[in-house]
Structure 1
Amino acid sequence: MTDTPARVLTDDELDLLELALGGALAPADLAAALPGVPPEVVLTDAENTPLARLTSGPSAAVEPLKPLAAAIGPQWDDAVRRPARDVRTDLGAGADEVGLLVTEPPTREDVETAAALATGPGGGTVLLLVPVARRAPEPGAVGAAGLVRAAQALAGDLADRTGARVVTVAVPWPGADRTAVSLADVAGAYGARRAEPLAARRSPATADAVAGLARVREEAVAALYPPASAAEVNRATRSAHRRGAVVFFTGLSGSGKSTVARALAAELDDDGLRTTLLDGDAVRHHLSKGLGFDRASRELNVERIGYVAALVAEHGGIAVAAPIAPFASGRARVRELAEAAGAHYLLVHVSTPLEVCEARDRKGLYARARAGEIPDFTGISSPYEEPADADVVVDTSHVPVEEAVRTVRTALAARLGEEDLGRPGHP
């Protein structure tokens, strides 16, 4: 495998790989969606974990190597995030399942439409197919977690009203522009004999009302105030923002810091907070590409992350960063940058012991470091200076990810002065 070229996948491409591994996307279609890949390539995530080997050409195939990293949230629940082949097998042959594509939160009219479809011909089993993306939603848009929650509520309502068997499935989906295969084609791979985009069946009145939601507040302001006052109220609303925050994770490779950071960022995004994730390996591929792993390079990498995080926080966002950050001086510089930007700062030490990190190593880096193949490897041939000023300390060897996220959220809420931020599902 070491001689095979590698391709680091984006979040959208990871969605496509998950579809292919689950049997919803042909290997040839996956290859076509990855322009420039050689005839044989190892597909990795941003942490360089080898996930699959893709072979293109007439005998196109995709071979799984390592499990894809998962996060927390309803869209990652094993009960709904199931491979297409498993869903198809569970449904069985010969049925005429209707697949409802839940691409937006269902309106009241959508609920009635779904009920009519569930009781119509072939409505004995209803598949609620919810496209979910790894990437963060556009500002103001309902994200993957919220969409799944809304779909699950619809599923319960349909089952109660119609007696139909309703199956909710979270479908990894980066968007139609990433592949020539349509969402309807993917729905067929999950077992739907026909696919109905629920939002497409809305009446013009409902469609117009949904599209005009953004205008409602401006119209209300215009009705309450004379034009000059309305302009000032709207201007103040557009410019208002909360004090931002930098949540900075540090810990050994394999400690679980990236997993907790990703889960935290996803929850904060789901709560409508503007959150930017700066994961250590992803940053290395872009912001710090070309830097080495000597002390000076590591310090520069951490400072660059801190600078970008401070910019995000300065404009009211929340930056979640998860590099190894082995040296106290580098972490102190990040704190300094955040505080100079007027942002809150939270240092989270993921204190998982070295032996646990080695045992979990998905990429074999510790073994290579102990064999002398990787110089300057933190914890083996390069020191890790444990922080004495951490605001939160979690050890993922005995603390589940969900509990670690809850602990960090509670600490962040205290900094922001918002009690409800520590509670998942905060509106």
Structure 2
Amino acid sequence: MTDSSPARVLSDDELDLLELALGGAISPAALASALAGAAVGPLGTSRTATVLTDAENTPLARLTAQDDGGAGLEPLKPLATAVGPQWDPAVRRPAREVRAEVAGTAGPQEDADVLGLLVTEAPTRDEADAAVRLAAGADLVLLLVPAARRAPGHGTVGAPGLVRAAHGLAADLGARSGRRPVTVVVPWPGAASVGTAPGAPALTDVAAAYGARRTETLTDHRTPATAQAVTALPQVHDDAVRALYPQASAAEVTRAAGGARRAGAVVFFTGLSGSGKSTVARALAAELEDDGLGTTLLDGDEVRHHLSKGLGFDRESRETNVRRIGYVASLVARHGGIAVAAPIAPFAQGRAEVRALAEQAGGRFVLVHVSTPLEVCEARDRKGLYARARAGEIPDFTGISSPYEEPTDADLVIDTTDVPVAEAVERVRRHLTAVLG
């Protein structure tokens, strides 16, 4: 039976807030207030609940905002996960679970000293020293790492790097204080606009929901000299160039360095709905971004929502959608970036056109066929699309009422039935590294 409630497609920042709410770190009312403050898409009232979905239109939760300011939140499907240290279930745990562990370890007494250290940037030596001082005498230390789903700005340490740095800090703190802290990844919006929306929580309040009874942000403990040195880091290369070369030569060396770029690439996933191509593509894009490579993710459902809004699912519309994806991907590759695309792309002709566009732009092209069998895809179906297609509710559904032409020219073939996401990502990364040289 189809849910008639209006749907709200959540951004990455809003998915972080939803994960916090489902884990017990913020209240459903705070989530409803933050989403209403963002003023994007419908939000129900006590008379009309809202189904919250991800960009793939998977129903994740049903939110009912009450007229009295309260709200109800009903989970529907698990949120999609990816690979990388920020997704390790050993550290990415619901707030209620961490809070219960804290109470069992430090005790429920009000005077128990549970210190929450917020790791919002890669810690400097100053902050490592400060962590030792701050942890002295604490009954328990939580190392809280805010991690956003959205990609960081260029030159900024993103969630994977931040978690790795936090693990290093935890080991150092354990060695110097005799007690290793509990490291916890906290979903946190990457955009200030959502994080400061009316009703959105403060990070210190979220830390308290995880069990911290006092909270310190490590960057607050940088010395002025260290803060100045961190700010000046981008200028170090230019300063070194000016010290080595006379003015005219320095200008040319700087200009050449600024214009240097590597060859771009298009990594194009194709496969049935539910094959796992979007999951692998998202994880690959995050890993490449963490490697410092400028990466653009062009996922099928998100492209449909923006670039190809209004197109149908007949053959001509499908081919148009794939051509549009290919054109945008080729522009990314032309300028030295890496485009990762994950449409179904059921027809060989459309895939060939995308390959030609990428190569004409001077980019490398990698076709990945996610060959997961139809019966496995159908069994996994999170959105109930296959059942609706078999019932005749969705015409032109690939694999049911519309054909899928299996590639004969794929660079990689991966069946996610028995290949874990992390291994699939590593296979693609190895191949891409070899292609790019």
TM bucket (normalised to shorter chain) is over 0.9
- Structural mapping, 1:317-332, within 5 Å: 317-332=337-352
1:388-410 CA distances to partner (integer Å, 9 max, x unpaired)? 00000000001111111111111
Q: Provide the C-alpha distance between the structure 1 equivalents of 2:430 and 2:179, rounded to a whole number of angstroms.
A: 41
Number of the residue aligned with 1:52: 61
Task: Tell me, yes or no, if the aligned pair for 1:124 and 1:164 is still in contact at 8 Å.
Answer: no
**Other structure's SS at 2:141 match:** strand
Question: How many Å separate the matches in 2 of 1:62 and 1:128?
Answer: 28
Please name the residue that 1:115 is paired with: 132
Asked if 1:126 corresponds to 2:150, the answer is: no
Structure 2 letter corresponding to 1:361? D
Match of 2:152 in 1: 137
The answer as to whether partners of 1:292 and 1:298 remain within 8 angstroms in 2 is yes
- Which of residues 216, 236, 259 is equivalent to 1:196? 216
1:7 aligns with 2:8: yes
Specify which of 394, 417, 423 is matched with residue 397 of structure 1.
417
The answer to whether the aligner puts 1:177 opposite 2:186 as a matched pair is no
Q: Secondary structure at the match of 1:174?
A: coil
Conservation of the 8 A alpha-carbon contact between 1:133 and 1:174: yes
1:242-253 maps to which residues of 2 (within 5 A)? 242-253=262-273
Task: State the Cα distance separating 1:96 from its structure 2 match.
Answer: 1.6
Secondary structure at the aligned position of 1:380 is classed as: coil
Q: Structure 1: how far apart are the matches of 2:256 and 2:31?
A: 47
CA shift, 1:165, in A, is 4.3
Does structure 1 residue 406 correspond to structure 2 residue 420? no
Equivalent of residue 384 in structure 1, options 380, 386, 404: 404
Equivalences, count? 415
- Residues 346-355 or 151-160, more deviating: 151-160
2:298 aligned residue: 278
Residue 234 (structure 2) pairs with residue 214 (structure 1):
yes
Instruction: Report which stretch shifted further, 230-239 or 298-307.
Output: 230-239
Counterpart check, 1:103 vs 2:120: yes
Indicate the SS of the match to 1:129: strand
Q: In structure 1, what is the Cα distance between the partners aligned to 2:180 and 2:318?
A: 55
Deviation of 1:80 after TM superposition, in Å, equals 0.5
Q: Deviations over 1:76-96 (max 9, x none)?
A: 000110011110000002222
Give SS of 1:33's match: helix
- Offset from partner CA, 1:335-384 (integer Å, 9 cap, x none): 01100100000000000000000000011100110110000000000000
For the aligned residues, what is the CA RMSD?
Answer: 1.0
Q: Matched residue of 1:348: which SS?
A: strand
Distance (whole Å) between structure 1 residues aligned to residue 83 and residue 419 of structure 2:
14
In the TM superposition, 1:298-337 aligns within 5 A as 298-337=318-357
**1:341 and 2:361 aligned:** yes
Aligned counterpart in structure 2 of residue 147 of structure 1, from 162, 169, 176: 162
1:3-49, CA deviations, whole angstroms, 9 ceiling, x for partnerless residues? 10000001111001000101111111111111342212000001110
Q: Tell me the residue number matched to 1:421.
A: none
Q: Provide the secondary structure at the position in 1 that maps to 2:185.
A: strand
Determine the C-alpha separation between the residues in 2 that align with 1:154 and 1:245: 36
Q: Are the equivalent residues in 2 in contact too, given 1:118–1:164 (CA < 8 A)?
A: no
Cα distance in 1, alignment partners of residues 327 and 193 from structure 2: 33
* Distance in structure 2 (CA, Å) of the matches to 1:253 and 1:236: 45
Report 1:358-369 matches (<5 A): 358-369=378-389
Deviates more, 1:50-59 or 1:378-387: 50-59
1:81 aligns with 2:81: no
1:173-222 CA distances to partner (integer Å, 9 max, x unpaired)? 01443133211111111111111110111110011011110111111111
Determine helix, strand or coil for the equivalent of 1:338: helix
Contact 1:124-1:165 within 8 A present in 2 as well: no
Three-state SS of the structure 1 residue aligned to 2:181 is: strand
Whole-Å Cα distance in 1 between the matches of residues 25 and 310 of structure 2? 37
Amino acid at match of 2:126: E
Q: Which runs of 4+ in 1 moved over 4 A?
A: none
SS at 2:269's partner residue?
strand
Indicate the SS of the match to 1:377: coil
Comparing 157-166 with 362-371, greater Cα deviation is found at 157-166
Runs (5+) with no aligned partner, structure 2: none
> 2 CA distance for matches of 1:412 and 1:207?
37
- For structure 1, the 5+ residue unaligned runs are 418-427
Query: Secondary structure of the residue that 1:67 maps to in structure 2?
Result: coil
Q: Which residue of 1 aligns with 2:255?
A: 235
